[in-house]
Homo-oligomer: A and B are copies of this chain.
């Protein structure tokens, strides 16, 4: 069933093998796909201003509904005109449903057909989340794209547990679709099924019957072996309705992105580049740099001498970044975060260009080789 949310369009511009170059038009901005969405958990991509995030090449960011619901709360966000205005991000924005964090961060989670109750990790307050409530809260937050509430089974679940999660996710998908949401907000469905390719395939078909504006793959990167994720993606990603954007949730490493784009995925989000930055890990075209390592003590080079990010282009030496990081200076976290997101932005820009030029396989192979992950192909 063709989606129909006002202000949204999806166009595939080029295809190269299974990889595709497309455009997602949202009310706030057009987004070039494939794309990586930096995560702004609490209304900010940690350590950075919106201008700095946009300068990394990011065209869309993700907000975490669970965190924003608890603090500052959807009503306050609505008072400020929504998260776009509150956080000064004028471009495209997506919110998750809050379900994943409610499961993983809160206490006393009780799941029923109606929804689930849990206690806030901040103050112990009892909260209730349902498919309808997730749409209502995301409506107040006001992102361009909402995600349905889904049921994510643990990475090592047995088949019958996964089957139940899939079936309930479908029922919740229908309830989410039936819930009133503001004009100018799209809604994506979430395909579950763990690493059972047949369950994933059937679920994707089921959800494609509903008027979702995009289809996401949830329940990856939740503890399953990485090769199993690649294998499942290889089996099913390209079969997901080609008329809608395909979004691989919570993934991943630079190599994950390179592999998954090659299998037909269009959108990604992950805390990895920003979280690792705050732990002193820079990601570069040549692999990782653990900045506190003594080998960088007197190193005058930037993280990547050929990188155009403000950190590398600004001439900050590895030795200086190491000093700042060891001294506990916030500037280190900023500079490495900006670099890492810029690296992700460039990785996706390069992927889009390669697809347009019909040489994605070359791009993928040379990028993985340079990072030391050539074995993945």
Contact = CB atoms under 8 A, between A and B. Distances in A.
A334 B330 contact: yes
Nearest to A310: B49
Contacts of A42: 323-324, 327, 329
A302 B177 CA distance: 38
Band of interface residues on A: 35 or more
Contacts of A44: 324, 329, 331
A314 B88 contact: yes
A316 interface: yes
Nearest to A320: B86
Given A80-B300, A316-B88, A319-B80, A43 B324 contact: yes
A317 interface: yes
A295 to B, nearest CB: 14
B314 A79 contact: no
Nearest to A332: B44
A60 interface: no
Interface string A85-122: 01110000000000000000000000000000000000
A274 B324 CA distance: 17
A101 to B, nearest CB: 14
A297 B71 contact: no
18 contacts: A42-B324, A42-B327, A43-B323, A43-B329, A44-B329, A46-B329, A46-B330, A46-B331, A48-B331, A71-B323, A71-B327, A72-B319, A80-B300, A86-B319, A86-B320, A88-B315, A88-B316, A330-B333
